[in-house]
Structures are given as structure tokens and as C-alpha cells.
């Protein structure tokens, strides 16, 4: 333990422990100085909560997958295409597509849910925040919304009522989507039903205080106090 130590945060706290005397002298100096060095480190170290995190360029607006002919009645083509346009415009794919939150969307899994979650708590205060994984919204019956009724999909988009009866959908900006008119929501629902079902299960939500085993990102605006 007899080598130059320096405090990472501030270079001026550099402490050189290489003494000039013989070997015995060196060890005596070390044993005398070590407690001081450790005490200095203990009091001066500041923990920055974002250390170990990197900034990402998430993809917010993505091309939505094309409707599959045969999955909708020909007379509904206009409605389905309008739904596709709205889904692109409203940024659904930016959250509901694997890799999009990290800036590398996997277009084979477009709208089929994200394996990267979103923390919904203040990163400065919660070392182990609650995390949700945007689910699969393709019409796969098992892992997507294939068995949901039009009303259920409508309620998820406009009122944030999802599979969790006791709470509203978190993170998704449904408060903004609540202003969509009936026709537009119906178009989005018709479009979601028309795309290719993709089997892809996203990780379960992580409760606050539990360590997430899958990756996640932070959103949010934080003010200094």
C-alpha cells in the first residue's frame, strides 16, 4: 500500500507516500500516514448519482410497420393508413420498439415491446427505482394485445387504463393522447390490428427497491433545490 495516492475528484489533494529513507522507514511512514489518507478519502469523496451512466440518443419517431393486406377490410384502407400515420407522429414506436430507447431500434420487432425499461422515479434519490418495460402492442394473442377489445385499446391510449386495474399506465403520455378525437383513436386501433403479430414478451415491471436485472433508462426533468 506504499504508492502515490491521489483523490480523483481534486488533483490538489495528491498525497505522495514514497518516503526517502530505507525500507523500515518506508513502512513506518506508511503505517503512520495510512489512517490519515483513509480518513481524508472518507470525508472528501462525493458520490455523483449519475456516475456509471451514459447519455443516449433515443429514437423518438420511427417508421411504423406497414399494414398487412388481408388483415383489414379493403374499405378500411384509408382508416388504417391514417392510423399508421398517427402512430408514427405520436411516437408510439419510440418506446414500444426494442432498442429504440437506446438509439438502435430493431425494426423486425417494431411495436413489439422494449427489453429496455424506463425508470419512473428520481434517479438522484432512488438507487433501485421502479422500472416498466413498454409492452408489445402488436396483435400477437399471447404476448401482445391480440385478445384485447377495441374498447380496451382505446382506454389504454386515451385514459391510461391498462392491465393494472389499481393504477394508471405510467410514463406513457396518455394525458396528451386523451385529446385525440374518436375517429383518430379508432384509426390507431384499426392500424394496430392490421400489422403483423410479433411474439415477444417484455420483462415484468420491477418494483421500487428491487434491483432490475434488465437494462433501463431514465426520463425526466429534475430541478436543483
Give yes or no for residue 171 binding ligand HEC (CB under 6 A).
yes
Give yes or no for residue 62 binding ligand HEC (CB under 6 A).
no
Give yes or no for residue 116 binding ligand HEC (CB under 6 A).
no
Q: Which positions ≥6 away from 175 have C-beta within 8 Å?
A: 160
Q: Of the two residues 8 and 179, which places its CB atom closer to ligand HEC in the complex?
A: 179
Q: Which positions ≥6 away from 126 have C-beta within 8 Å?
A: 119, 208
Binding to ligand HEC (CB under 6 A): which residues in 72-111?
Answer: 87, 90-92, 94-96
Stretch that binds ligand HEC, among 3-11, 23-31, 72-80, 168-176 (CB under 6 A): 168-176
- Cβ atoms of 123 and 224 within 8 Å: the answer is no
Which of 80, 100, 112, 172 lies at the binding interface for ligand HEC (CB under 6 A)? 172
Provide the H-helix boundaries in the chain. 23-44, 77-89, 92-96, 150-159, 174-177, 182-194
Q: Which positions ≥6 away from 94 have C-beta within 8 Å?
A: 58, 59, 60, 61, 62, 100, 101
Give yes or no for residue 216 binding ligand HEC (CB under 6 A).
no
Find, among 201, 96, 191, the residue nearest to 142 by Cα: 201
Give yes or no for residue 169 binding ligand HEC (CB under 6 A).
yes
Strand partners, 206: 131
Q: Of the two residues 169 and 198, which places its CB atom closer to ligand HEC in the complex?
A: 169
CA distance 111 to 91: 10
Give yes or no for residue 67 binding ligand HEC (CB under 6 A).
no
136, 138, 143, 145: CA torsion to nearest 10:
100
DSSP state of 97: B
Smallest distance from the beta carbon of 113 to ligand HEC, in angstroms? 8
Give yes or no for residue 132 binding ligand HEC (CB under 6 A).
yes
Could you tell me how many residues of this chain bind ligand HEC (CB under 6 A)?
Answer: 27
Binding to ligand HEC (CB under 6 A): which residues in 192-211?
Answer: 205
Smallest distance from the beta carbon of 44 to ligand HEC, in angstroms? 39
Which of 153, 186, 190, 198 lies at the binding interface for ligand HEC (CB under 6 A)? 153
Which positions lie near ligand HEC, rule CB under 6 A? Answer: 87, 90-92, 94-96, 118, 132, 134-135, 137, 145, 153, 156-157, 162-164, 169-173, 177, 188, 205
Amino acid at each position: 500500500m506504499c504508492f502515490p495516492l491521489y483523490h480523483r475528484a481534486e488533483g490538489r489533494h495528491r498525497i505522495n507516500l514514497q518516503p526517502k529513507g530505507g525500507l523500515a522507514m518506508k513502512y513506518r511512514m506508511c503505517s503512520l500516514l495510512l489512517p490519515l489518507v483513509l480518513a481524508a478519502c472518507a470525508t472528501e469523496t462525493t458520490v455523483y448519482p449519475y456516475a456509471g451512466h451514459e447519455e443516449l440518443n433515443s429514437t423518438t419517431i420511427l417508421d411504423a410497420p406497414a399494414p398487412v393486406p388481408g388483415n383489414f377490410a379493403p374499405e378500411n384502407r384509408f382508416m388504417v393508413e391514417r392510423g399508421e400515420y398517427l402512430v408514427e407522429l405520436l411516437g408510439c414506436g419510440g418506446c414500444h420498439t426494442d432498442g429504440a430507447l437506446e438509439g438502435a431500434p430493431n425494426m423486425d420487432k417494431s411495436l413489439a415491446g422494449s427489453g429496455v425499461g424506463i425508470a419512473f422515479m428520481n434517479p438522484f434519490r432512488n438507487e433501485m427505482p421502479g422500472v416498466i418495460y413498454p409492452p408489445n402492442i402488436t396483435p400477437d394473442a399471447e404476448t401482445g394485445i391480440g385478445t384485447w377489445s377495441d374498447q380496451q385499446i382505446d382506454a389504454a391510449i386515451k385514459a391510461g387504463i391498462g392491465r393494472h386495474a389499481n393504477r394508471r399506465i405510467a410514463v406513457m403520455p396518455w394525458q396528451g393522447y386523451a385529446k385525440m378525437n374518436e375517429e383518430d383513436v379508432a384509426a390507431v386501433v384499426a392500424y394496430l390490428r392490421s400489422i403483423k403479430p410479433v411474439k415477444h414478451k417484455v420483462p415484468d415491471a420491477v418494483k421500487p427497491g428491487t434491483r432490475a436485472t434488465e437494462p433501463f433508462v431514465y426520463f425526466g426533468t429534475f430541478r436543483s433545490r
